[in-house]
Amino acid sequence: MELIIASNYDEMSRLAADKIALCLKDKPECVLGLATGSTPIGLYAQLVEDFQNGKISFARATTFNLDEYRGLDPQHNQSYRYFMQKNLFDHVDVELEKTHVPDGANSDAQAACDAYEKGIEEAGGIDLQLLGLGHNGHIGFNEPDDSFPVGTHVVDLTESTINANSRLFDSIDEVPRQAYTMGVGTIMKARSILVVASGADKAQIVRDAFFGPVTPQVPASVLQLHPDVTVIVDAEAGSLCA
Ligand code: GLP
């Protein structure tokens, strides 16, 4: 694992965007695993800028997002599909049909999960998976548990995640209680992994996840076992690792 402590959020975003840009240049038909949350917003803005400056193209790339709320329509302004359109897809040359987000509106949960997992395999697997970090160490929506979930599945969100994400909804009652997420096994199959974290409130979990014991109670800790992981944090999030 490589840990890079950037001086601030902008530098973290620039360095992380550079890794994705490099992947697109080395392998224009690459498969990118993408993430939502507030942390990657800056890096998506950098990628849009790089595209506008003619430095990168998504024309041949395929994308798979980590997760999606269950029961939210893709048009809902808090759905992860909406987030991706607004922050990246609408501004670059990616082909819409090559962008994938679990279908939160599909009432057949098993079918939705199986189709998603199959889609990733058929695309040849993920070359570079981007991840944010939940305060309890969740990756995607893989919450602390007694074991690591393997494939794409439905999860009941924990109180901590519902509270953390309620800031984005009009009221906490509107936050969906379930979500679809790639499993830890799906994530670990990615050929390389890029984790971003920013802010003092992530300092403890960055230390626990990357320097503490590997345990399903801190899902991100499993990344210590992956052969190609880069963690890019800002100075605040990296303050307990320096
Ligand atoms: C959500 C998402 C995760 C994300 C996490 C952290 O729960 N499902 O994929 O990494 O929140 O989000 P933020 O970057 O806003 O702290």
Q: pLDDT, tens digit, for every residue of 80-96? A: 999 999 999 999 999 99
CA of 36 to the centre of ligand 1 (A): 6
- Compute the mean pLDDT over every residue in the chain, rounded to the nearest whole number: 95
- What angle separates helix 80-87 from helix 41-52, to the nearest 10 degrees? 40
Q: Is any ligand 1 atom within 6 A of the Cβ of residue 35?
A: yes
The question of whether 138 is a catalytic residue gets the answer: yes
**Per-residue model confidence (pLDDT) at position 116:** 95
Distance 107 CA to ligand 1 centre (A): 24
| pLDDT, average across residues 14-23 | 98
pLDDT band at residue 151 using 50, 70 and 90 as cut-offs: very high
Q: What are phi and psi of 194, to 5 degrees?
A: -125, 120
Specify which residues 20 forms β-bridges with: none
For the residues 59-69, what does the mean pLDDT come to?
97
User: Which residues lie closer than 8 Å to 238 by C-beta, 6 or more apart?
Assistant: 3, 5, 6, 203, 206
42 lines ligand 1 (CB under 6 A): no
